[in-house]
Chains A and B, each alone.
Chain A
Amino acid sequence: GNSVTQMEGPVTLSEEAFLTINCTYTATGYPSLFWYVQYPGEGLQLLLKATKADDKGSNKGFEATYRKETTSFHLEKGSVQVSDSAVYFCALSDRGGSQGNLIFGKGTKLSVKP
């Protein structure tokens, strides 16, 4: 079945460091791919998305490119800030019977130190 695997955390970085969080997926067909972020004490928020191969999603300085050949959707940011400290979830949409349902990875906790 469909699944998402993302790198385990926690990831601890200094402010202004470069961030990469790896995400790979297994899916039949052509899913849409997402990164959601969960700040402490809050619900999940959509960070960025890509709906087809080679699409690049971007938001708030974060980027991820839909790579069909490597079944990956790695999250990157060139210079992280303390305010980026959160848990990041990679997800894909299940385009089967439950259209719109998301299948999530386990999450990667990011801590950014000043």
Chain B
Amino acid sequence: EAEVAQSPRYKITEKSQAVAFWCDPISGHATLYWYRQILGQGPELLVQFQDESVVDDSQLPKDRFSAERLKGVDSTLKIQPAELGDSAMYLCASSLAPGTSVPGELFFGEGSRLTVL
């Protein structure tokens, strides 16, 4: 069964350092999402791509976070510099293009757990 791949699974870094997370969605999924899940909370959207274009990045802290999906396939989420409050699980999800699936029917990767010391 096709899966969303994410790496690394775990990342420990010191504050002020740069970190990057990678996501490879299910083949053929045009829409890609990055969510942040703080311990004990539900996931919150950081950025949504439709192919290579950003659809929504209103909740992305743009002073330190950036995301790209240059060829409309895999994606990278970067944090620079990392802060203590960035410790969380970063989840990538993908879905078929709007109009071809139920909005909200997402397929999630296992996540990348970030700890900032």
The interface of chain A, by Cβ under 8 A from chain B, is: 4, 31-32, 34, 36, 41-46, 49, 51, 89, 91-95, 97-102, 104-107
| Majority-rule SS of B interface residues | loop
> Which range contains the number of B residues in contact with the other chain?
20 to 34
Expressed in whole angstroms, the minimum distance between the Cβ of A71 and any Cβ of chain B is: 17
Q: Please state if A102 and B45 are interface contacts (CB–CB under 8 Å).
A: yes
Q: Please state if A46 and B42 are interface contacts (CB–CB under 8 Å).
A: no
- Quick check: is B56 within 8 A (CB to CB) of the other chain? yes
Please name 30 pairs of A and B residues whose Cβ atoms are closer than 8 Å in the assembled complex, sorted by A: A32-B102, A42-B110, A44-B106, A44-B108, A45-B108, A46-B107, A49-B102, A51-B102, A89-B43, A91-B104, A93-B102, A97-B55, A98-B45, A98-B56, A99-B98, A100-B48, A100-B95, A100-B101, A100-B105, A100-B106, A101-B33, A101-B48, A101-B104, A102-B45, A102-B104, A104-B42, A105-B42, A106-B41, A106-B42, A107-B42
Q: Please state if A44 and B98 are interface contacts (CB–CB under 8 Å).
A: no
Q: Please state if B91 and A32 are interface contacts (CB–CB under 8 Å).
A: no
Q: Please state if A49 and B45 are interface contacts (CB–CB under 8 Å).
A: no
CB < 8 Å A-B pair total: 77
Expressed in whole angstroms, the minimum distance between the Cβ of A2 and any Cβ of chain B is: 12
The interface of chain B, by Cβ under 8 A from chain A, is: 4, 31, 33, 40-45, 48, 55-56, 91, 93, 95, 98, 101-111
The CA-CA distance from A32 to B105 in the complex, in Å, is: 9
Q: Which residues of A contact B44 (CB under 8 A)?
A: 104
**When the two chains form the complex, which single residue of A43, A51, A98 contacts B111, counting CB atoms closer than 8 Å?**
A43
Q: Please state if A44 and B45 are interface contacts (CB–CB under 8 Å).
A: no
The CA-CA distance from A28 to B24 in the complex, in Å, is: 33
- A34 in contact with B104 given A97-B56, A98-B48, A101-B48 (CB within 8 Å): yes
Q: Residue of B at shortest CB range from A93?
A: B104
